[in-house]
Amino acid sequence: DVKVTQSSRYLVKRTGEKVFLECVQDMDHENMFWYRQDPGLGLRLIYFSYDVKMKEKGDIPEGYSVSREKKERFSLILESASTNQTSMYLCASSLKGWQETQYFGPGTRLLVL
């Protein structure tokens, strides 16, 4: 079974704080993704990575950065959290090849006060 884990299920942070969300997959997948999900807006891609140290911007990268130092780990960083970054954050991974099935982690529900 593919296993994608995320560091926290729920997180509460204050405006201006630096926030780290971590994702780990155990299936040796090349591709990893960060999405956010908001009511009425569906799933939106923030960043993705197709290899170690490689990253590509998705549709809404502003206010976020990512890090992929090891193949199994993909971190999302909110440099200075803002209230409009309150959301459900979802990490996914897939094998190499853009058509491959993406498998999701359980999600992190972030509240920025």
Contacts with other proteins by CB under 8 A lie at 4, 33, 35, 37, 42-43, 45, 48, 56, 58-59, 88, 90-92, 97-99, 101-107, 109
Cα(19)–Cα(85) distance, integer angstroms:
11
Minimum CB distance to other proteins smaller for 43 or for 77: 43
Minimum CB distance to other proteins smaller for 84 or for 99: 99
Tokens of 83: 């209230």
Q: Please state the closest distance from residue 47 (CB atom) to other proteins, in A.
A: 11
Expressed in percent and rounded to 5, the helix, strand and coil fractions of the chain are 5, 55, 45
Q: Are 93 and 4 in contact (CB under 8 A)?
A: yes
Minimum CB distance to other proteins smaller for 16 or for 97: 97
